[in-house]
Chains A and B, each alone.
Chain A
Amino acid sequence: MKKRYVRMVLVVIVMISSLSNVFASEESDYVVKDLTLDDLNGKVVGVQTGCLYETHLLKRCPDVNIEFFADPSTMILALKQGKLFAMLTESNSYLCERRFHPGLKYIEEVLEKIDCAVMFSPSGRQEKLREEMNAFIAEYINSGEREDMEDYWLDNSDLDSCVVDRSGITGENGKLVVAVESGYEPFSFVSKGEVSGFDVDFVYRFARKYGYSPEFYLTTFDALSAAVASGKADLGMNVVLSDERSDGAIFSDPYNTYNLIATVYEKSENKESFFEKTGNSFYKTFVKESRYELFLYGMYVTLIICILSIVIGTVAGLLLYLLLRERIKALTRFTELFGWVIHAMPTVLFLMILSYVVFASAKLNGIIVSVIGFSVLFCFTMYDLIVSGVKAVGKGQYEAARAQGFTDKSTFFLIQNPQAISHFLPAYKGEVISIIKDSSIVGYIAVMDLTKISDIVRSRTYEAFFPLITTALIYFLIMALLIFAVNKVGLPFDKTKRKTKKILKGIDVSKYGDYLEKIGKLPSIF
């Protein structure tokens, strides 16, 4: 019954969405005729972070106000809402964006021609790779392969039908880790659960020829050069050449050139009703290319990171506390200082240091690095919680237990900990929530968690509202789930809520019936 209902909704949504895919066709319709780049002066213009386009813009229009955005979809949303007058985009990306937002028009004058190259990691084989890459690029340009590729990827209005030829990879010369931006149509993006696009095709062609087996490291532009420089990846694709950048890094010859243009938004008459719009968004966000699978994967990653970090962190915090109970002063002071330093740092910085500095050379999976990072954070949080909880129990009960002959450890487990837990459980729940929230930054070290998946999907649909709201809802669900679990686990420790039956488990109290009944606490079976 339920299934049929869901299916019917899907069918309706598909029908609505197919109706709405009607585009204007003439290229000249998209040119804004009465605007030039000079008109951008004094206006607010959106630029994507990490691309260095702002320098070109400032050269041409010195009075422009620049606002930075992490991804094109939020930038387009701002443009549509009128917060931006215009935004900078590459000509190729513009074509992709236009598919979903027919109201996007561009100023004909080109701001700059942008050269993009491959960046190499200083891993020892960079010179060899660069020679091979430069030779490949030269041949690629001369042989006409470039025109084919550009025809196929860049001028194609239906990216969903494009596929990368992944055959013929021998890998005899080893693995090649390639960092690409995860949501950058038409160069690199996630389609049908796989990374695809112009750059991916390019890398496969190169790898086929030189006997490498490529592996893709999905990241953002602002973290891409750090990933390559630290050796997490061997290559970084589509890096804009600039004087500053070529100083410290090794680049290939440019393999791709595109125009940097400014786009504005002209409101077209929108005939879609709210329901159609929502249905359409739902279809694009979840149904198309089975993107719900991506969301499920993201949820799974977020859950795995959170649950593992919370469990490991809790146990490690407890062990740390037990270790420091031995009253080794220097160790305690060191731990407190270390915990303080870690907690004082923004979590994203801590995670990036962990990934790009501490574990830079170890080719650890990003999920493992995240779990390590959050476990360490949670471990120190847990330590602090136990310390404060035990303090709240007071010294008297500790002394009473020691005086009876309990050891330090059994005093902790029998007397202090059961009470400390109910003291710190509310704070613990808060920490669980903050770990779930903090886990949304793992995208910075190329982990496909829920937030990152939402970014990737947004980079395909060029819509912000629907994916953001649904992602928020999913986070809420995860939070509710974990808090429910914590409550379930924590409940038995709330001793004051025990039933009389449980207190007297396994004890024959029949001869004390008179006394116990008198206090009215026992069920009537006595």
Chain B
Amino acid sequence: MIEIIHLKKEFQGVVPLKDVSVKINDGDVISVIGPSGTGKSTLLRCINRLTEATSGKILIDGIDILDNNSDINSLRRKIGMVFQSFNLYEHLTAVENVMLAQTKLLGKSRQEAFDKSMELLKSVGMIDHALYYPSELSGGQKQRVAIARTLSTDPEIILFDEPTSALDPLMVSEVENIIEKLSKQGRTMMIVTHSMNFAKKISNRVFYLDEGGIYEDGTPEQIFENPKRQKTRNYIFRLSNLEIVMEYGFSGLSQAMQSISEFGEKHKLGQRAIFRLQLVFEEYCVACLMPEQRQGETIIARISYREEKDSLTLNVRHNIKGIGKGMNDLSEKILSSYAKIRNENGTDDHEICFEL
């Protein structure tokens, strides 16, 4: 079991990981997703200390690996790593790449190491290429050899740092299939990936990294079908948002209209859609809600565009008391001719969603 406690990593001027605390159980297959620059690779590299953490603890089976007194080299043998750029030893053949750690670190005989290496190469479909040098292999083949090399020391945990990002699209599946096969063997694995379908297929747990830590942690169903937090949703659904906050006595109406039009142009929504969006916003927020607004009451309008499904929504939340839906029949008629009106919270009328 890996336990990460208040892990912090600071580079010069940048803090990708502010405070990470999480428990990883044996046999967990975790996909680590998130926008670039959120410290996905950094998190992985801190676990085997390729990157030195600034502060915090990482306990593996109760031993703090960040403690300088612990024998990092023998701890690293328990943690295998597969790199984005394969990093095979260029001066050795495929089979020697797999053999090296076995003979030099585990003290196995050359024959033993060779037999095991051939077995591993066979399992990744590379036995025919045992005597090829890395420079003679394609990217996908290199990554398969690299996986065999990682398996050669029987690690308890395997870290995959974007294993398919550097590959030709045609070669991605050959590597993904092997990782998928491995994920069913009960090893603890952490995979940094950009491919959500792949993550869905293999993992039992997903970390969404953002804001300097694990922003959302859940099963693939939770994270991919029903993400709870806004940034996760933005990322998963490839959402982009425009939020307009209107306090009592709001005066930036023309600016709000301007920014709605810019948002629309940015996402190539077309003039008609922008016009409809502005109309719905004006009719509901300005004509219906604002006249009822009193001191201390706020209206928040969020325009969301979900690229994946090409859907555009206007979500309006407010805390104005005692106005129900806040629109008269005429307004409702006008609005429903432009959008599908959905009451988000059922009984509560304080959040209304317009699907345009």
Contact = CB atoms under 8 A, between A and B. Distances in A.
Q: Is B truly associated with A?
A: yes
Interface of A: 393, 396-397, 399-407, 410, 414-415, 418-419, 422, 495-496, 500, 503-509, 512, 515-516, 518-519, 521-522
Given A503-B131, A516-B130, 19 more contacts: A400-B81, A400-B88, A400-B89, A400-B146, A401-B89, A403-B48, A403-B50, A403-B79, A405-B73, A405-B77, A406-B73, A406-B105, A418-B91, A495-B91, A496-B91, A507-B111, A507-B114, A515-B118, A519-B130
Contact of B132 (A403, A406, A410, A519): A519
A13 to B, nearest CB: 55
Contacts of B96: 503
A496 to B, nearest CB: 6
Interface in B91-144: 91-93, 96, 100-101, 104-105, 110-111, 114, 118, 127-133
B91 A399 contact: no
B89 A402 contact: no
26 contacts: A396-B86, A397-B90, A400-B146, A402-B50, A403-B81, A404-B77, A404-B80, A405-B75, A406-B105, A418-B91, A419-B91, A496-B91, A503-B96, A503-B131, A504-B114, A506-B111, A507-B111, A507-B114, A512-B127, A512-B130, A515-B118, A516-B130, A516-B131, A518-B128, A519-B130, A519-B131
A102 B150 CA distance: 84
A414 B89 CA distance: 10
Contact of B89 (A397, A403, A405, A505): A397
Given A405-B73, A405-B101, A507-B111, A415 B89 contact: yes
Contact of A507 (B73, B88, B105, B110): B110
A400 B159 CA distance: 12
B101 A399 contact: no
A414 B131 contact: no
B83 A400 contact: yes
Prevailing SS type, chain A contact patch: helix
Nearest to A495: B91
| 9 A-B pairs with the lowest CB-CB distances in the bound complex, closest first | A400-B87, A396-B87, A495-B91, A405-B77, A405-B76, A403-B81, A404-B101, A507-B114, A405-B73
A403 B76 contact: yes
Nearest to A417: B91
Contacts of B104: 406, 410, 414
Most A CB contacts (10 A, CB to CB) among B75, B85, B88 go to B85
A400 B75 CA distance: 15
Contacts of B132: 519
B91 A407 contact: no
Contact of B131 (A406, A506, A521): A521
B74 interface: yes
Contacts of B105: 404-406
Contacts of B100: 404, 414
A396 B73 CA distance: 17
B234 interface: no
A396 B77 contact: no
Contacts of A403: 48, 50, 76, 79-81
B205 to A, nearest CB: 23
Contacts of B150: 404
A522 B128 CA distance: 12
A433 B133 CA distance: 33
Contacts of B75: 405
Interface string B205-241: 0000000000000000000000000000000000000
Contact of A522 (B101, B131, B153): B131
Contacts of A404: 76-77, 80, 100-101, 105, 149-150, 153
B127 A515 contact: yes
A506 B111 CA distance: 7
B133 A496 contact: yes
Contacts of A405: 73-77, 101, 105, 153
B131 A500 contact: yes
Contact of B128 (A393, A400, A519): A519
Interface in B15-51: 48, 50
A494 B228 CA distance: 57
A82 to B, nearest CB: 60
A28 to B, nearest CB: 79
A418 B90 CA distance: 10
B101 A406 contact: yes
Nearest to A512: B118
Nearest to B122: A515
B169 to A, nearest CB: 22
A289 to B, nearest CB: 55
A407 B73 contact: yes
A406 B97 CA distance: 13
A167 B75 CA distance: 77
A405 B102 CA distance: 11
B149 to A, nearest CB: 8
A129 B132 CA distance: 77
Most A CB contacts (10 A, CB to CB) among B75, B87, B150 go to B87
Given A410-B104, A508-B111, A515 B87 contact: no
Nearest to A518: B128
A404 B75 CA distance: 9
Contacts of B133: 496
Contact of B85 (A393, A396, A415, A519): A396
A495 B50 CA distance: 28
Contacts of B153: 404-405
A202 B129 CA distance: 81
Contacts of A407: 73
A75 B149 CA distance: 70
Contacts of B128: 515, 518-519
Nearest to A509: B114
Contacts of A410: 104
Nearest to B74: A405
Nearest to B77: A405
Contact of A396 (B83, B92, B149): B83
